[in-house]
Amino acid sequence: MPSIQRLIHILVCLLTLTLALSAGAGELTRADIAKRFGPPLHVGEQPPDLPAWPISTELEPDGPPVAWVFESIDLAPIPGFEGTPFDLLITLDRDGRFMNVEVLRQHEPVFLSGLGEGPLLNFVKQYEGKSLKKNITVSTAYGDLPGNDDMRVVLDGVTKATASVRILNQTVLTAGLAVARAKLGFAPVVNTGPPATPKPDLFERKSFDQLVKEGAIGHLRLTEAQVEKLFEGTDVAGWDDYAKAHPDAVNLDLYVAYLNVPTIGRAVLGDSGYATMRKSLNTEQHVWWVGTHGRSKLVDEHFVRGTTPGNLTLLQGGAPLELRDFDLDPQQPAGAPPIDTALVLRAPPLSGLDPAGKQDFVFSIKRTRGQFRPEVVYREATLTYLPPERYFDRPPPPPPDWLLAWMDRKVELITIGVALGILTLVLARPRWMSLSARRLAIFRNAFLVFTLAYLGWFAQGQLSIVQLTGAVKTLWQGNSLASFLYDPVSLLIMAFTLVTFFVWGRGTFCGWLCPFGALQDLSTQLGRKLGIKARRLPPTLARVLDRGRYVILAALVAAAALEPTWAERGVEVEPFKTAITVGFDRAWPFVLYAVALLVASVFYYKFFCRFLCPLGAFMTLGGKLRLLKWLPRRAACGQPCQTCRHRCQYDAIEPAGAIRYDDCFQCLDCVGIYHDEQRCAPLLLMRKNPAAASRIGMTDKITS
């Protein structure tokens, strides 16, 4: 018998685990969503930061999404009555209005074997057209909820299913607000860090009055004159004879106290009342005491215990949180002023509330005019409650997502940082490295292999024209470039390249840090070992192609701003995605194009870099920020010596000997020749015949 009981227990646990796992994530795919939206609507890809699908329209091809569709279980897995969250498919338009709420999956007993799903389906239809900018609440058969007005929308509830539909409403609002804040510009939740927790061992014996003075108990007092002012401009203004006769009388004394803090809870409920509350409290539930005095009361004689007080709403960060009566019977707090009505209210578990953050308790004040079919008007007064921080423990805030991305790639960033430091030293003091042609070749080839294999294929640090066009498109649409923070390797290379613009010009990136450029360079060297001789394009054709890079660059930038679809296609002029990002694992036309460019570079050195690359054109423009002429030259360079010019594979040296920095890739060959007495003609002549070298000015140094 015990074995059978144990087996049943195991089966129940497995079933519970299965239900929990099946309820933990959305179940629909993009194809499933697309079946619900026909032309001209189109379902886009989910962004990496939000489990929601954007819906665009062919009528506005370049406009923002007209709606967002998402499953509530991905954003608000609030346990239902029996512990399993609702899974709802919610469609929210770009103004924050609900277009549709569809029930995908639910496990509420009352809707499975009791009332059936009919009342539930009718309930969710009410969300259509309702705005998240209003306070959406659910009516009840018991409480006195204010009707619809400028700030409040009241949905018809479902008798015998009050708890279930309130959980559903909280699910809809929480999930909807998450999307609205992320994509529709709604005010974000107050950034106080992770939710605070009350310090369980901190207790100080304080009076009610002391707690009010320090803000541990919130207080709002409204006189009849102040309430009358709230109703100015309405049909009931001036209709209250008592208010006109007693303008200084108290209409509302509203007190709010967060009871989870021992110092506050024990002062308000007393030691025994606080202990009773704690015994009945579920994990992660927040509890408040709310008391009122005056003509405006918290509840009336028709209020039913265990339900929601109809004229009180709690907001945090703009998100409404429903409060339900805890069904306790609080007594008059010791030392407190007179209290007419008081309730202990609790929020649902997993509400996401920060008890140490700002809480807005909105009290609805009712005024009527007439007796037969009276006109009813509501106005709202807000008590902003912020308990003292010292009563709470707050865990350190987690680092932002972009910083997590940097932390995850710490090893790559350190490795690349060390490599950039070495490269900086070599470029800053190039003489020793370049003096020996063999030493320079070993270092350069080793660095090119590192750039290709580690920086490119492994770390995915290939800069691309796509980043430039993406930045243009983002800025053109009025958005920020914060997304760049999520690609730390590329951002590090960008920052380093920007600095080198001012020091060495464009060649630092193009000659040392471009993975595809490194692949071309290594392919050319392989071709030389196979006996393929280098060729040079005719100067006129080379100049035309060189200028063509700028035409491609200008066209892509303009398209990014004005016609993004064209830009998305045009950037394929770059083979970087094919050769580096996906390692040639792509459709054959793209692979054929990339291979063709590599073959061309075997015959015409760095063919793509020098004659087609739009990113190289941008780098050339950036290189014009260079402040130094750092490559040393002599008066005899070019007049008459032509050694460096003939050996420069980039054609970056003028016949007169000057360096064209716009075309220089900083291979350092000319620096090595300049210092090498075995390769530099002026140095050779000076060593053999110093007098002759001096007469023709071969010992004078100049900088170009």
Could you read off the pLDDT of 213-237 as tens digits, one per residue?
A: 999 999 999 999 999 999 988 888 8
Averaged over 193-202, what is the pLDDT? 84
Taking the C-alpha atoms of residue 20 and residue 271, their distance in angstroms, rounded to an integer, is 38
Q: Give the residue from 622, 653, 670 where a domain finishes.
A: 622
pLDDT score of 593: 94
Do 86 and 111 meet the contact criterion of CB atoms below 8 Å apart?
A: no
Which whole number is the average pLDDT over 242-246?
A: 90
Task: Provide the mean pLDDT of the chain.
Answer: 83
Q: Is residue 196 part of a domain?
A: no
What pLDDT does residue 207 have?
A: 94
Report residue 342's pLDDT band, with 50, 70 and 90 as the boundaries.
very high
Q: What is the pLDDT of residue 14?
A: 38
* For range 116-123, the mean pLDDT: 88
The stretch 532-558 carries a mean pLDDT of 88
The answer to whether residue 102 scores a pLDDT higher than 90 is: yes
Tell me how many domains the chain contains.
4
Q: Over 90: is that where the pLDDT of 699 sits?
A: no
Residues 73 and 175 in one domain: yes
| pLDDT for 7 | 40
Percentage of the chain exceeding pLDDT 70: 86
Cβ count near 391 (within 10 Å): 22
User: Considering the domain boundaries, does residue 455 fall inside one?
Assistant: yes
Which among 358, 373, 392 is the end of a domain?
A: 392
493 occurs within a structural domain = no
Got the DSSP string for 95-144? TSBEEEEEEEE---HIIIIIS-SHHHHHHHGGGTT-BTTSEEEE--SSS-
The mean pLDDT of 178-203, rounded to a whole number, is: 77
Give yes or no for residue 468 having a pLDDT over 80. Answer: yes
Tell me what pLDDT residue 5 has.
45
Residue 330: DSSP 8-state: P
Is residue 193 assigned to a domain? no
Please tell me whether residues 360 and 262 are part of one structural domain. Answer: yes
378-402 residue pLDDT tens: 899 999 999 999 999 987 766 665 7
What is the span of the domain harbouring residue 643? 632-703
User: What per-residue confidence (pLDDT) applies to 205?
Assistant: 94
Answer yes or no: is 492 within a domain.
Answer: no
Q: Is 50 found in the same domain as 27? A: yes
Q: How far is CA 406 from CA 452, 455, 587, 629, in A?
A: 21, 15, 32, 35
Same domain? 474 vs 593: yes
Domain boundary among 622, 652, 682: 622
Q: Residue 4: what pLDDT?
A: 42
Tell me the pLDDT band of 675, cut-offs 50, 70 and 90: confident
Q: For residue 627, is it within any domain?
A: no
Q: Are residues 306 and 215 in the same domain?
A: yes
Q: Which of 406-415, 443-452, 678-687 has the lowest mean pLDDT?
A: 678-687
Say what percent of the chain tops pLDDT 90.
Answer: 35
- The pLDDT of residue 387: 95
> Is the same domain home to 222 and 351?
yes
Question: Contact 62/564 with Cβ under 8 angstroms?
Answer: yes
